[in-house]
Structure 1
Amino acid sequence: MSVYTDWRAVPAQARGTVAALGNFDGVHRGHVHVLNTLRTARPDRPLSVVTFDPHPRALFRPQDPAFRLMLPNVRANALQEQGVESVFQLAFDAEFSHLGAEEFVKDVLINALGVQHVACGADFAFGHRRGGDTARLEHLLTEHGVGLSIVPQLTDDNGPISSSRIRRLLQEGYPERAAMELGRLWSIVGPVVHGDQRGRLLGFPTANIPLGQHIEPARGVYAVWVTLPDGRVLPGVANIGRRPTINDGQESRLEVHLFDFSGDLYGQILSVALVCLMREECRFDSLDALKAQIAQDAAQARKILSSR
């Protein structure tokens, strides 16, 4: 699969696809439903996705906390697993945000990408100040002889499946419910950085991974599966939060202890999948009390993961 970040310089061999439009944050079951609908409508053409980076919300509301379910490279990998052959990752900056609805369709979709058919959700909005809706999109595409599939949201017993609903489940401490809507466990992916090595002193060395642009899930201790760069998947226990017992500042972090593992992970990219929240973050009266609780957490995580 190829990722193109400059819509003005798309090579000829990448043109002529059928394209799904949207942010595709999380590549959840609803997104897969849109891709499958498009594939069914036009099985004769390569499948592509037209998406944005950064997420428009990051441009218009920079003061908001980080909220991404996945970073762009992880999103691209997830889309590839769904059979997408090209990702057109449009740079969403101030200049692009002023592109009108008609310009977006004519200049980007038609002239630059040469799309043959388009699919999107019923709530898709585009163009300057979200001036275009699906009715406008259909009209503009029809002028160029391009069809549109408007895909109703995929729903379950709790309503429409959406990225915002998945974010809410993670923030409320229900990663297992979020996984049902994603179609996979939710993961934080990032490099291992140097910490204060306090976990090693407590008998549980940890790999420290910044949350970065990921949404911060409920703070606490999780049973996790960790994927190493070589493809190995190992069980572990992780803490997400600000470590109130140590009181080391205001930045939340992910610290993960891999069971029965020894080796240098600094600088390597790990994928940490949250299985379940075992307890909320809390402050202990002493480091000895914290150490005893960590041992209990590790034993509980081993038990949970051995049964899954």
Structure 2
Amino acid sequence: MTCYEDWTAIPPEARGAAVALGNFDGVHLGHVHLLRSLHAARPDLPLGAVTFEPHPREFFRPQDPPLRLMLPGIRARILHERGAQRIFQLGFDADFSHLAPEAFVERVLDRGLGVKHVACGPDFAFGHRRAGSIAYLGQKLEALGIGLTIVPPLTDIGGPFSSSRIRRLLQEGYPERAAEELGRPWFIVGAVAHGDKRGRQLGFPTANIPLGRHIEPARGVYAVTIRHPDGRLSRGVANVGRRPTIDDGQESRLEVHIFDTSEDLYGQTLEVSLHRLLREERRFDGLDALKAQIAEDVASARMVLSTLP
């Protein structure tokens, strides 16, 4: 997989693709539907995706809490796994944000990327202040000899699949429902950092992973699976939150207790998939009460995870 970031320096071998346009945060089933529809429309062309980094909302509203379902490298990987052969991850900065709709089509899509066909949803807007409409996009592309496929959104009883809907499910504590819309469990990726080793003192050592730019899901205790750098899978229990019993004043983080291991994980990058919220975060009357609750959490997580395929 090659991820192209500089739209002004695309090599000849990467040009000539059919590309889907979007932010693709989470690469959920609606995004997969878009990619498959594009491939069905132009199976003769290499399949690609055009996305943006950072997410435009992150650029325009940096003071807001993180909203990302996934980091850019993971997004590129999942897009590739879902069939995209060419991934154009365009830098979204002040200059790019001021491109007029005409410039985005002519300079970026046509001359820059050399695309042959484009697909997007019916609500796609582009260019400075999102001034470019679907009707305008179609007119400009047709004049340049580039095809366009407008793909209706994938919907269910709750409406269209969307990244914002999945974010809400995670923030409300329903990772299993988010997984249904993602087509896989939602996971947090990060390097294991040194903590205060309080979990080890309680008899449940944890790997501490900063949430970083990931959205913060509902605070509480989760049944989780862990993918190691070598591809191994482990099972465990994790806490997302600020540890109110200890009250260390630190920002929210992910603390993972991996079952049946004493492996040194410091510095390793782990993928932690959230499967079920076992309980909400709460304060306990001392460390003994917390330790007893963690033992119950471990038993609950083992039971939940025993039902996984």
Q: Residue 8 of structure 2: SS of its match in structure 1?
A: helix
Q: Residue 51 of structure 1: SS of its match in structure 2?
A: strand
Give the distance between the partners of 2:200 and 2:250, measured in 1 at CA: 22
2:248 corresponds to 1:254: no
Give the distance between the partners of 1:236 and 1:155, measured in 2 at CA: 33
Summarize the alignment of residues 201-220 of structure 1 with structure 2, pairs less than 5 Å apart: 201-220=201-220
Give the distance between the partners of 1:47 and 1:210, measured in 2 at CA: 34
Summarize the alignment of residues 1-308 of structure 1 with structure 2, pairs less than 5 Å apart: 1-308=1-308
Give the CA deviation at 1:104.
0.3
TM-score of the pair, normalised by structure 2: 0.99
Q: Residue 216 of structure 1: SS of its match in structure 2?
A: coil
Number of matched residues? 308
Give the distance between the partners of 2:220 and 2:66, measured in 1 at CA: 18
One-letter amino acid of the counterpart of residue 218, structure 2: A
Give the CA deviation at 1:79.
0.6
Give the distance between the partners of 1:251 and 1:120, measured in 2 at CA: 38
Give the CA deviation at 1:154.
0.3
Give the distance between the partners of 1:304 and 1:276, measured in 2 at CA: 8
One-letter amino acid of the counterpart of residue 50, structure 1: V
Give the CA deviation at 1:162.
0.3
Q: Residue 290 of structure 2: SS of its match in structure 1?
A: helix
Give the CA deviation at 1:264.
1.1
Q: Residue 243 of structure 2: SS of its match in structure 1?
A: coil
What per-residue deviation string (whole Å, max 9, x for no partner) do you get for residues 22-42 of structure 1? 000000000000000000000
Any runs of at least 4 consecutive aligned residues in structure 1 with deviations exceeding 4 A, and if so which?
none
Q: Residue 139 of structure 1: SS of its match in structure 2?
A: helix
Give the distance between the partners of 1:263 and 1:144, measured in 2 at CA: 58
Q: Residue 274 of structure 1: SS of its match in structure 2?
A: strand
Q: Residue 9 of structure 1: SS of its match in structure 2?
A: coil
Question: Percent sequence identity over matched residues?
Answer: 69
One-letter amino acid of the counterpart of residue 78, structure 1: I
- Extract unaligned runs of 5+ from structure 2: none
One-letter amino acid of the counterpart of residue 51, structure 1: T
Give the CA deviation at 1:250.
4.2
One-letter amino acid of the counterpart of residue 213, structure 1: R
Give the CA deviation at 1:150.
0.6
Q: Residue 190 of structure 2: SS of its match in structure 1?
A: strand
Give the CA deviation at 1:83.
1.4
Give the distance between the partners of 1:59 and 1:80, measured in 2 at CA: 25
| Aligned-residue RMSD, C-alpha | 0.6
Give the distance between the partners of 1:211 and 1:244, measured in 2 at CA: 17
Give the CA deviation at 1:261.
1.3
Q: Residue 76 of structure 1: SS of its match in structure 2?
A: helix
Give the distance between the partners of 1:116 and 1:289, measured in 2 at CA: 63
Give the CA deviation at 1:125.
0.6
Give the distance between the partners of 2:133 and 2:61, measured in 1 at CA: 21
Give the distance between the partners of 1:237 and 1:56, measured in 2 at CA: 34
